[in-house]
Homo-oligomer: A and B are copies of this chain.
Amino acid sequence: MRVTIELSPFLRSVAGVLAAVLMLPINSVAPQKGPQGRAPQPLILEGQGSFYVGGRLKHTPATSGSRNDPFGIEDDIMIDQMYVQYQVPQNHGTHVAVVMVHGCCLSGKTWETTPDGRMGWSEYFLRQGRPVYIPDQTSRGRSGFDASAINQARLGAVPSTSIPNVFTFGRRAAWKIFRLGPEYPKAFPDEQFPVGAFDELAKQVIPDLNATLSNPNPTYANLAALGVQLKGAVLMGHSESGFFPERAALVDAAGVRGIISIEGYCPTTLGQRELAGLARIPILLVFADHLSDIPEIPGARALADCRTFVRQVIDAGGDAIVLHLPEAGLKGNSHMLMQDLNNLTIADLVLAWIDKHVERSR
């Protein structure tokens, strides 16, 4: 069976990790309880900070949608930049940096404290010795966006149909998109997302302004440049950005040491040259549970397409694998698996894959 063949080498390594994880008491990872949260051990950092990658000047006729600005509203603004926040743990040794990219209608917050106040993946990876870099996608959050078209419409200079679509979703849709259950507010019986904290997840959902961007999305090139700047990094995407690491590698693979695509979508029509390029990079694709249980969500189709993509990469000589969590014994995980109750168990699987496929391959 093809699926078993793809998974078995990884599952063997996973089994040991799972066993190790299961021997730890679950409270060995202390929860963060909101502000002034106390971690069990101090977090010791060699450094931290933030910076922007990319960006270009654009001359705009509408820095504002009001002509009353004393400076005028025609000027050069910076667009397409990508904000990146980073932390480097003291004992990182030779570990490769991990870049964690959020999905649609979300921000770098995705990887921080969970909605119910537990430790997120960014801090957990740090505590496992990994330098962690958290961008806000170009045109999202602290990266800013180009509001020119919106302002021009307000001024009457362009028709309102010229406004880029500003996409977000409300809580009824979010319940299904995040696969918390069949219908708001009913949860799947084995649901791993902390549904009691759903309102806190809803606060993370912010407008997606990717429609303001040029094509191809500048985030691809920005991620590629970040990898080069870091002299090599594992790029991790989620959902909307699930395939961004591959797209970044197709722009410039020089800094892409590994690719992790979480709950994303895979094209199945890449050419041989593209597949040959991706075949030089270890690739892990992670899928959670209930992929077929919500009619509006094409989860099973996404998994099938990604299995096809994996087969194409393997046929091109690459190292690609699908980790479908239920097949690894983890049931009930949501689309927001990095925030689920067992999020650190899944993190351990990802870290084990990095150790085996990225770092030991050096």
Interface residues of A (CB under 8 A from B): 32, 34-39, 42-52, 55, 57, 60, 63-66, 69-72, 74-78, 81, 83-86, 88, 90, 97, 107-109, 112-113, 117, 119-120, 123, 131, 133, 136, 141-145, 147, 150-151, 153-154, 156, 159-161, 163-173, 176-177, 199-200, 202-207, 226, 229-230, 296
Residue of B nearest to A166 (CB): B147
A35 → B minimal CB distance (Å): 6
Q: Which among B72, B83, B172 is the interface contact of A109 at CB below 8 angstroms?
A: B83
B71 touches A296 (CB 8 A): yes
- Report B-chain residues with C-beta under 8 Å of the C-beta of A34: 49, 51, 229
Q: Which of B112, B159, B207 contacts A50 (CB 8 A)?
A: B112
Q: Given that A142-B109, A166-B151 are known contacts, is A35 also in contact with B51, CB under 8 Å in the complex? A: yes
User: Does A154 contact B143, Cβ atoms closer than 8 Å?
Assistant: no
A36-B88, A145-B207 as given contacts; A170 in contact with B76, CB under 8 Å: yes
In the complex, are the beta carbons of B77 and A49 less than 8 A apart? no
Contact of A203 among B78, B150, B160 (CB under 8 A): B78
Number of copies: 2
A150-B166, A153-B153 given; 9 more Cβ-contact pairs under 8 Å? A32-B49, A34-B51, A51-B113, A52-B203, A57-B202, A63-B167, A65-B165, A70-B296, A147-B166
> Which of B49, B75, B107, B176 is A169 in contact with, Cβ under 8 Å?
B75
A102 to chain B, nearest CB (A): 10
Note all chain B residues with C-beta closer than 8 A to A151. 165-166
The reply to whether A44 and B42 form a contact with Cβ atoms under 8 Å apart is yes
Nearest to A102 among chain B residues (CB) is B142
> A43-B44, A77-B170 given as contacts; is B176 within 8 A of A113 (CB)?
no
Q: Which chain B residues lie closer than 8 Å to A159 at the CB level?
A: 160
Q: Among B154, B176, B205, which residue has its beta carbon within 8 angstroms of that of A78?
A: B205
For A108, A119, A141, the residue with the greatest tally of chain B CB atoms inside 10 Å of its CB is A141
Asked whether, in the complex, the Cβ of A142 is within 8 Å of the Cβ of B66, the reply is no
Shortest CB distance A280–B (Å): 24
A161 to B65, CA, bound (A): 9
Which residues on the B side are within 8 Å of A205 (C-beta)?
77-78, 144
Assess A172 versus B78: contact at CB under 8 Å? Given A90-B42, A109-B50.
no
A245 to B57, CA, bound (A): 34
B35 near A39 with CB under 8 A, answer no
Contacts of A45 in B (CB 8 A): 39, 42-45
Q: Report the minimal beta-carbon distance from A69 to chain B, rounded to whole angstroms.
A: 8
Report how far A131 CA is from B55 CA in the complex, Å: 32
Contact, CB under 8 Å: B203 / A55: yes
Which residues of the partner chain B approach A107 to less than 8 Å between Cβ atoms? 83, 141-142
In the complex, what distance in Å separates the CA atom of A64 from the CA atom of B165?
7
> In the complex, A154 Cα to B120 Cα: how many Å?
37
Contact A49-B160, Cβ < 8 Å, known A64-B168, A202-B78 = no
Q: In the complex the two chains form, is B173's CB within 8 Å of A63's CB?
A: yes
CB A81 to nearest CB in B, in angstroms, measures: 4
Given contacts A207-B145, A296-B70, contact A200 B52 (CB under 8 A): yes
How far apart are A148's CB and chain B's nearest CB, in angstroms?
A: 9
Give me 24 A-to-B residue pairs in the complex whose CB atoms sit less than 8 angstroms apart, sorted by A's number.
A35-B229, A39-B48, A44-B45, A50-B112, A55-B203, A57-B202, A63-B170, A64-B168, A65-B164, A65-B167, A71-B172, A71-B173, A72-B173, A76-B172, A77-B171, A78-B203, A136-B141, A142-B206, A147-B207, A151-B166, A153-B160, A156-B161, A160-B160, A160-B163
